[in-house]
Each structure stands twice: as structure tokens, then as C-alpha cells.
Structure 1
Amino acid sequence: MKRIMCAALLSAAFLTGTAGLAQEQQTPAEKALSPKFGIKGGVNLTNMYVKDVSDENMKVGFNAGFFAKLPVARGFSIQPELLYTSKGAKETYNNFVEGKGEYRFNLNYIELPVLAVFNVAKNFNVHVGPYVSYLAAANIKDLKDDGTIHEITDLDAENFNRFDYGVAGGFGIDISNFTLGARYNYGFREIGKSGSLSGQLTKDSKNSAISLYIGIGF
């Protein structure tokens, strides 16, 4: 399903690219296209996906950072961003040894997406492109059903793959200098290191995130 969504975003961007070149990007107060720089932030709905695991649960996180919108032609821009973004998942367990509870994976990345932005209407755009990210911090907690919380100190950022990469795609609504948008990130690299405790707990899973955001450009 995630592969289909990713392919659909890629197809939409390329199929609408030609039409987008006829659309304006500047605000009513601007006489010509000009670069914009701004700040943005919002909410992440994240998970870790893997073929043979079905008991993952979505975790709420956040995203915040900076962006630049660099016009190439009318209706087409390149948008690099620098974000601090929280990913991970909640994974429930129920067995004789551990009892009932939930592992909560909090993975915080410094992320650099570089997006091609196509304006398909005056205030509406579709964007798609690659991203790379660096795992800055990791915090894994064990939440028992009785309310107790234990931090798994054996696992920190060094126990996971530091670098991640993948593709991002979504849409945005531009109103003057404000932007609202939604985006899906699809990771290509496994989160845990193969043959390690992190790899066993995450079961070779990868990052998956839906981001909702608001931004302002200057």
C-alpha cells in the first residue's frame, strides 16, 4: 500500500508538471518570482513497516525547521529543507516472560529533503523528492500494563543505523506567505543494525511517516 502511495505521488508530480509551468508562484504583493526562506513545523504520525510484522502502532511526533523555495520557472521550484523530526513507533507485546506492555521507539532525526515543487493551481502544489537524515538521538521505553515505565538503557543512537534515506511526496496550499501541507516519507534503509539487539526488536523495519505542517516564508 505504501509503495502504491509513493508511486502515485511520483506519477502525479510528473504528469502535472507541464500544466504547473503555466501557474504563478508569487504573492499578490510581488511583481516577479523571488526566492523565499522560512520556518515550518507540525505533527508527525509515524510507524515502522516490515513485511512480516502486523502489531505495530502509530506514534505521534513532531517536525520543525527551515525551508527555502527557489523558483526555477513559473510554476516550478526546488525546495530544500533542514528539519528536526521525530519518528518511531509503538509496538505492543503479550507473552509469558515479559507480560503485557508496549515498546515505544523514539527516534529523532536531522533531515534534509530536496523537493521538486509543481504548482498545479494558483495556490496548490504537488511536491516530491529524496531525503537523507541522520539519527541524532534515540530513546526506547518499555511501558508496562501496570503503569510502570522502564527505559531500555542498552539501546541508544549508537545501536541503530545513523543514516536513513528515502523519498518524500505530498501537497501544499500557499496563501500569501503562509503554507499548509501534508507529506508522506518512505524510508529505504532498515532502522536497526543487522545482528544486533536493535535489529531484533525492530525486526528489520524501516521508517514511515505522515507529516502535517504549517510554515511562513519571508
Structure 2
Amino acid sequence: MNRSRVRSPWLAQNLIFQNYIMKKVLLSLAFSMPFLFASAQSNKKIEFGINGGLSLYNLTNRQIYSENNYKAGFAAGVAVSIPIAKSFYIQPEALYQQQGSKYANLTTSISKADYEMRFGYVNFPLLAKYQLFNSNLSIYAGPQLGILTNAKYILTVSGTDINGKYETDIKKDVNTIDFSGAYGLEYYFAIGGNSKIVLNARYNTGFSHVMKSEESRDAKSKNTGFTFMVGYRF
């Protein structure tokens, strides 16, 4: 048997993947060049930062989840603040966030059950930021692309007959890509030199459906929530 013929499908897939990655890199560079050029014309410098904090997320489908509770998780990532004009910035970010929802205290005569949907996303917000009145306070808004990393359904039961915690991996049932919009406020404290401590609060509105199946009772659910972070910028 000719080994080259056996390996050819793998080689073809590898070449396609490499070509795809190269196109993404070139597209990202082409997209960034106007911002970097504009920044070079500005007196202000590009700032880099790291952030971490709390996420409070829910699933929006009022027909099903009208009594859902927000699920707490963590958020952490990096950001770049690029000055474009006076008081105006473009701020791309990369964040890992825990999202989901929970429905607590479903009680019957013999047991109590808590349901939880637990998701992990790597989110990429692209924010347009405006500094208010040349102060330390800014407002921002922009689109966000999310890539799913993990998804679990968790059932916790306590009662007279059944007790326990049961986890099911549902990643195959959840859409890999999530689109949303981010809107928020940012306030910084100068701590010497070019360093800053940054406080960040935002709200995310989901635009795309979380679940894949249109027949699922969760099909029209969307991610929505709040994120509160503290960051260091330099």
C-alpha cells in the first residue's frame, strides 16, 4: 500500500488548518493597523492591562426561566487600550468567564432539587471607549464574540429517598459560538508613573441562542449578565 496515499487526507486537512490560521492572523493584523497608526499620531500611549473579578450570569427565556437565579462565577483576562483621538479609545479584550444559570429550591413532598447550567467561555469584546469630561471615568460599548470551552448540567437532590449531586456534560448540545453586546463604565486611579488601578462594571446582552436544538425547551435561551472586575494597567 502506498503510504503517501494513506497520509494525504491528514496532510490536506493540516494544510487547510494552517491556511485558515494564517488568514486569521493576517486579518487581525490588517484590522489592527489603522488603530495602531492612529495611536502613533496621538500624544497618549497604548496601555496594557490584566483584569479579574466576578461574573453574575443568567439565561434569558422568560417562558421557562422567569424565576431563575443569577449564577456567580469568576472572570479574568487581558486588555489593550488604544487611543484613537482625544478622549476616544478602542479596547480589545480577551476574557475567560464562567457563565450559566441556576434554578434553586424545587421542592416536592419527599425531596428538594437544585438545577444548574454551568458554562465556560473565552470572550473577546471589542469596545469603543469614551473618556468623560477629561476625567478618570469612561463609558464604553461594543460587540463580544464568545467561544465555548465547557458546559455542564448539574442536579443536586436532597430528600428522604434520593440524595446526591449529578453532573452531565452537555457541551455537544450547546452552540460553540456566542454573540453578545457589552456596555459599561470604567474608572481608574493613578498609582504612580504610568500605572493605574482600574475598576470595571459592565452588562452583557446575549444576541444568539445558547442551545443547538430548536426542539429543546432551552432553545431560545440567551446568555445575559453582569461582570465586575479590578485591573492593573501599565
Q: Fold conserved (TM > 0.5)?
A: yes
Unpaired runs of 5+ residues, structure 2, are 1-41, 191-195
Higher relative contact order (CA 8 A, sep 6+): 1
Distance 2:49 2:101 in 1: 29
Distance 1:162 1:95 in 2: 33
Q: Matched residue of 1:91: which SS? A: strand
By how many angstroms is 1:65 displaced?
0.5
What is residue 31 of structure 2 aligned with on the other side?
none
What is the letter of the counterpart of residue 130 of structure 1?
P
Q: Matched residue of 1:60: which SS? A: strand
What is residue 49 of structure 2 aligned with on the other side?
38
By how many angstroms is 1:140 displaced?
1.6
| Contact 2:157–2:165 under 8 Å retained in 1 | yes
| Identity over aligned pairs, percent | 30
Distance 2:98 2:219 in 1: 20
Normalised by the length of structure 1, the TM-score is: 0.78
How many residues were matched structurally?
183
Say if 2:122 is the partner of 1:103: no
Distance 1:116 1:171 in 2: 12
Higher gyration radius (CA): 2
1:1-218 → structure 2 map (5 Å cutoff): 32-53=43-64, 54-92=66-104, 94=106, 100-121=112-133, 122-146=135-159, 148-152=164-168, 155-176=169-190, 177-195=196-214, 199-200=216-217, 202=218, 204-218=220-234
| Contact 1:55–1:92 under 8 Å retained in 2 | no
**Which of the pair is proportionally richer in strand?**
1
**Which of the pair is proportionally richer in helix?**
2
Q: Matched residue of 2:63: which SS? A: coil
By how many angstroms is 1:137 displaced?
0.7
| Contact 2:107–2:113 under 8 Å retained in 1 | no
Give the aligned CA root-mean-square deviation in angstroms.
2.1
Which stretches of structure 1, 4 residues or more, deviate above 6 A after TM superposition?
Answer: none
> CA-to-partner distance for each residue in 1:19-74, whole Å, 9 max, x for gaps?
xxxxxxxxxxxx94100011101101111111313121111011101000000012
